[in-house]
Amino acid sequence: MSITLENHTAIGEPVAAADTSISPFSLQGRTALVTGSGRGIGRAIAKRLAAAGANVMLNDMDETLLLEAQADLGHEERVRHVTGDLTDPSTPKAVVDAVLGAFGAIDIIVNNAGYSWDSVIQKTTDEQFQAMLDIHLVTPFRILRAASEYIREAAKSEAANNRRVMRKVVNITSIAATDGNPGQSGYSAGKAGVIGLTRTLAKEWGRYNVNVNAVGFGLIETRLIQPLNGNNTNLQMHGHEIRLGVQPAMLESMKNSCPLRRLGTPEEAAGAVLFFCSPLSDYVTGEVLICGGGMHF
């Protein structure tokens, strides 16, 4: 396993004033880790957090994507990236250590990394099912376990000084977890497990002033649900080529079943996550917010 950390400036240099044009609050001085942030929803989340003033650590498997994302976010003095495959058991801790090494703190964790590998159950292999659990459930567990020592010690220190600092965990789930979806036994199981992990950590970490919540997405415009047209770019993952996309007729049917009659944008998805990362959610924990345009499978 190889892991690389890109570093621009030394911590302690002046931080630019937060851009509050899209938000009634500032996240200046807060540090966020966003996994799976090379593109799509993850990049949109990272962009929202950076615009609100946070230091942001991007993470993905693809160094090229991360460089593109970093250029897109701007705010060079407080955006870094760390490359690594989170399904490697050693990577989640290495990523958390990289955040602490770069910024000296971790205040917001968004467990967003994921992909779908779909089949009806009789065609789903053990490897395929386990791959969905590994990225959607085991990876967030390992990230949070790795961050737990810092979070506990920071909270104890703050309490000793009569300070309360609210930290945030946002785990990404799906309406496939809450409602099920044909062909997604592994994906749905992993995303459902995230809800259990979220609610358990909310109870364990409440004493450390951590809000732990989840956002469940419906149909969001990403490469995972692009119309299949013969020109789709598939996903290469651990020696497998995984087909991405949805049959156009099925996609149109799903749009029509959504009360808003359209797909959501990555920016709209990021808005729901931003709420849970912000001071607006300081007394909200253990909850699942569905961002799906009113759609249920």
Q: For residues 105 and 32, give the distance between their C-alpha atoms in angstroms, rounded to a whole number.
A: 9
DSSP 8-state symbol, 135: I
CB contact at 8 A, 291 and 216: yes
Q: For residues 221 and 263, give the distance between their C-alpha atoms in angstroms, rounded to a whole number.
A: 6
The tokens for 229 are: 């047209």
Measured CA angle at 132 (ends 126, 138), to 5 deg:
110
Helix boundaries (H) for 106-247: 126-133, 139-160, 175-179, 185-205
Indicate the angle between helix axes 139-160 and 185-205, nearest 10 degrees: 10
Q: For residues 168 and 211, give the distance between their C-alpha atoms in angstroms, rounded to a whole number.
A: 5
Q: For residues 125 and 117, give the distance between their C-alpha atoms in angstroms, rounded to a whole number.
A: 11
Point out the residues that are catalytic. 187
Instruction: Look at the block and give the residue holding tokens 């149909």.
Output: 219
CB contact at 8 A, 226 and 247: no
Q: For residues 262 and 294, give the distance between their C-alpha atoms in angstroms, rounded to a whole number.
A: 11
